Amino acid sequence: MRKLVRTSAAAAGLLAALALTGCGSDDGGDNGTPKASASPGESGDNGSGGGESASLEGAWTGMADGGPVALSVSGTAASIVADGHACTGQVKDMGGEPMLSLKCADGNTDRTMGAIESNDGKTLVISWDAGKKDTLEKADPGKLPELPTDLPTDLPTG
């Protein structure tokens, strides 16, 4: 029960931070460098539905195994909060297909290498090497997604 509350709070906190920052940085640190684009001469889309890694940019949310999942992609940097684990890493180009290569702070490996199964700009499906599969929806900038309404109301008090 407490894990669900912590997970929900962590996901809500990440989403609030994403909403406040617009999922990006305005510190000028990238000097106008294109973000997460394919190599010159490559489109990054081989027709398999993966699309260019630039289309991963932004915040994505969903539910998996009854808990919230929040993914944020800014340039080539990526982070995810799911199942009480926070993981960060990069979007990498693996032969024209973008993949997520992450490392979790607590050593969890459920979501460390993820292949983009499909991405139409509104729905993102990620298949993780550990067997999990996430279907996430693009979050509207500046708008927090609705949290589940069926959360328990009889939480322990001490």
All domains in the chain, ordered by first residue = 2-23+45-138 (2.40.128.50)
Whether the pLDDT of residue 52 is over 90: the answer is: no
Provide the 3-class DSSP secondary structure of residue 145: coil
In this prediction, residues 39-68 reach a mean pLDDT of 64
Give pLDDT, residue 142: 72
Report how far Cα 80 is from the mean position of its chain's Cα atoms. Answer: 5
Structural contact between residues 126 and 136, judged by C-beta atoms closer than 8 angstroms? yes
Which helix (H) or strand (E) segment holds residue 3: the answer is: helix 2-21
The pLDDT of residue 107 is above 90 = yes
Q: Which residue in the block uniquely carries the two structure tokens 């000028």?
A: 28
Looking at residue 31, what is its pLDDT?
Answer: 39
| 38-54 mean pLDDT | 40
DSSP-derived 3-state class of residue 94: strand
Q: Give residue 118's pLDDT.
A: 94
C-alpha atoms less than 13 angstroms from C-alpha of 66 in its C-beta half-sphere: 7
Band (55; pLDDT cuts 50, 70, 90): confident
Which segment, 40-54, 89-103, 144-158, is predicted with the most confidence on average?
A: 89-103
Mean pLDDT in the chain? 73
> Do residues 122 and 130 lie in contact, with contact meaning Cβ atoms separated by under 8 Å?
no
User: For 105, which DSSP code?
Assistant: T
Confidence of residue 6 (pLDDT cuts 50, 70, 90): very low
